[in-house]
């Protein structure tokens, strides 16, 4: 019987599959101290994006740790080099969350461009309003340009939604992608051209040294004053202080964010802005998607423990 540490609340889809082993946790979030205590002697770890799996934590586990099953598509919280040196398999959950995340990204796009959050807050506050030809004007999508940074599974799904709404699609990537499933007008350009030309810039890239603060003060300054930024990728892809400053100065029209540099903390300036939509990192948060993610993570862990090849090993 293996010891499997589950670092955060999990759905039954994962816990039921692991029930023949000694499961520690799964009903609460472990802070660094608790995780450090429980990881000692663990054979497997079912982790989340917020877990600090740096070299020190990985070394603390001991030589028996065989697998880190990350219940997410991302893995920037894990020191992969330290894991490889310790012969620890690291698995993730790509391929099951792209449609749900693209739905949420496009919801952010609609909210911020059509000012629906701002409008609902006005109604709920009981403020006076009446139909007016010039009231709460937003941006139309038909014929507008949607810039997708990173045309992976989520980026492609986002592009398909934009094309269905009559948007022209620009994308940036390291190489040409198959865009036959997107439809409409699709063109690959450089990051610089995409940022300067798009009416909505939507981030769908992993967090790497190359993409950290990809959207910085210079990038924001090059965007159209009428343009919007959407981020459902990783918070640190955007310089949050620079974004707040750009919004205060009117350098861009607004932003829709589901991720933040130091989440759950959010820049106070952003919290006060009406032209910013803020969501609490719920990109993949549909029950069917999260159940698939949980089950896939558990299957990956069991595969490694049983000496089989997992579905999604990095």
pLDDT tens, the chain, 314 aa long: 999 999 999 999 999 999 999 999 999 999 999 999 999 999 999 999 999 999 999 999 999 999 999 999 989 899 999 999 999 999 999 999 999 999 999 999 999 999 999 999 999 999 999 999 999 999 999 999 999 999 999 999 999 999 999 999 999 999 999 999 999 899 999 999 999 999 999 999 999 999 999 999 999 999 999 999 999 999 999 999 999 999 999 999 999 999 999 999 999 999 999 999 999 999 999 999 999 999 999 999 999 999 999 998 99
- Among 114, 212, 213, 281, the active-site one is 281
Distance, in Å, from the CA atom of 257 to the CA atom of 233, rounded to the nearest integer, reads: 9
Residues 29, 9: contact at Cβ < 8 Å?
A: yes
For residue 263, what pLDDT is reported? Answer: 92
Strand 186-188 relative to strand 168-172, pairing: parallel
Among the listed residues 44, 154, 177, the one whose alpha carbon sits nearest the alpha carbon of residue 101? 154
For residue 267, what pLDDT is reported? Answer: 96
Helix axes 153-164, 98-114, angle to 10 degrees: 50
Which residue(s) pair with 23 in the sheet? Answer: 4
- Among 161, 234, 290, 299, the active-site one is 234
| Cis peptide leading into residue 205 (ω within 30°) | no
Task: Using alpha carbons, list the distances in angstroms from residue 50 to 46, 74, 108.
Answer: 12, 11, 23
Helix axes 98-114, 116-124, angle to 10 degrees: 60
By CB atoms closer than 10 A (0-12, 13-18, 19+), residue 253 is buried
For residue 36, what pLDDT is reported? Answer: 95
**Which regions of the chain carry the CATH code 3.40.50.720?**
3-92+287-306, 97-278
Among the listed residues 54, 8, 25, 78, the one whose alpha carbon sits nearest the alpha carbon of residue 281? 8
Task: Give how far the C-alpha of residue 208 lies from the chain's centroid of Cα atoms, to the nearest Å.
Answer: 13
Domain 97-278 coded CATH 3.40.50.720: yes
The highest-level CATH class for domain 3-92+287-306 is: alpha beta
- Among 34, 99, 263, 291, the active-site one is 263
For residue 297, what pLDDT is reported? Answer: 97
Is 98 one of the annotated active-site residues of the chain?
A: no
Q: Outline where the chain has alpha helix (H).
A: 12-15, 32-39, 55-61, 80-85, 98-114, 116-124, 153-164, 191-197, 217-222, 240-249, 268-271, 287-305
DSSP-derived 3-state class of residue 151 = coil
Task: Output DSSP code: residue 236.
Answer: G
Distance, in Å, from the CA atom of 134 to the CA atom of 113, rounded to the nearest integer, reads: 15
**Longest CA span, the chain:** 68
Give the number of other CB atoms < 10 A from CB of residue 273: 16
Query: What is the rounded end-to-end Cα distance, in angstroms, of the chain?
Result: 25
Please state the φ and ψ torsions of residue 73, each to the nearest 5 degrees. Answer: -80, -30
Is 263 one of the annotated active-site residues of the chain?
A: yes
Which residue(s) pair with 68 in the sheet? Answer: 45, 90
For residue 125, what pLDDT is reported? Answer: 96
Handedness of CA 249, 251, 253, 258 (dihedral sign): negative
DSSP-derived 3-state class of residue 300 = helix
For residue 207, what pLDDT is reported? Answer: 93
Residues 135, 114: contact at Cβ < 8 Å?
A: no
Distance, in Å, from the CA atom of 252 to the CA atom of 222, rounded to the nearest integer, reads: 9
pTM across the whole model: 0.93
In the structure encoding, which two tokens stand for residue 288, read together? 């069917």
Is 299 one of the annotated active-site residues of the chain?
A: no
């Amino acid at each position: 019987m293996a010891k499997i540490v589950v670092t955060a609340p999990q759905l039954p889809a994962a816990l039921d599959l692991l029930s023949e082993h000694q499961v520690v946790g799964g009903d609460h979030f472990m802070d660094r101290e608790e995780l450090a205590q429980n990881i000692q002697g663990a054979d497997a770890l079912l982790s989340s994006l917020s877990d600090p799996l740096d070299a020190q934590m990985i070394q603390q586990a001991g030589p028996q740790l065989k697998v880190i099953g990350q219940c997410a598509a991302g893995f920037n919280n894990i020191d992969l080099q330290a894991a490889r040196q310790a012969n620890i398999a690291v698995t993730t959950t790509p391929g099951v969350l792209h449609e749900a995340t693209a739905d949420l990204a496009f919801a952010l796009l609609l909210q911020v461009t059509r000012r629906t959050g701002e409008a609902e807050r006005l109604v709920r506050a009981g403020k006076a309003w009446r139909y007016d030809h010039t009231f709460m004007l937003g941006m139309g999508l038909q014929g507008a340009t949607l810039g997708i940074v990173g045309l992976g599974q989520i980026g492609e799904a986002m592009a398909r939604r934009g094309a269905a709404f009559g948007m022209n699609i620009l994308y940036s990537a390291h190489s040409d992608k198959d865009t036959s499933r997107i439809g409409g007008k699709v063109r690959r350009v450089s990051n610089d051209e995409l940022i300067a030309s798009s009416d909505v810039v939507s981030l769908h890239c992993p967090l790497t040294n190359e993409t950290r603060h990809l959207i910085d003060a210079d990038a924001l300054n090059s965007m159209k004053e009428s343009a919007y930024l959407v981020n459902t990728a990783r918070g640190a892809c955007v310089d949050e202080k620079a974004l707040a400053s750009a919004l205060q100065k009117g350098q861009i029209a607004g932003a829709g964010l589901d991720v933040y540099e130091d989440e759950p903390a959010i820049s106070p300036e952003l919290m006060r802005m009406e032209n910013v939509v803020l969501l609490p990192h719920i990109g993949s948060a549909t029950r069917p998607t999260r159940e698939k993610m949980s089950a896939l993570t558990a299957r990956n862990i069991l595969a490694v423990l049983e000496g089989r090849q997992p579905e999604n090993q990095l």
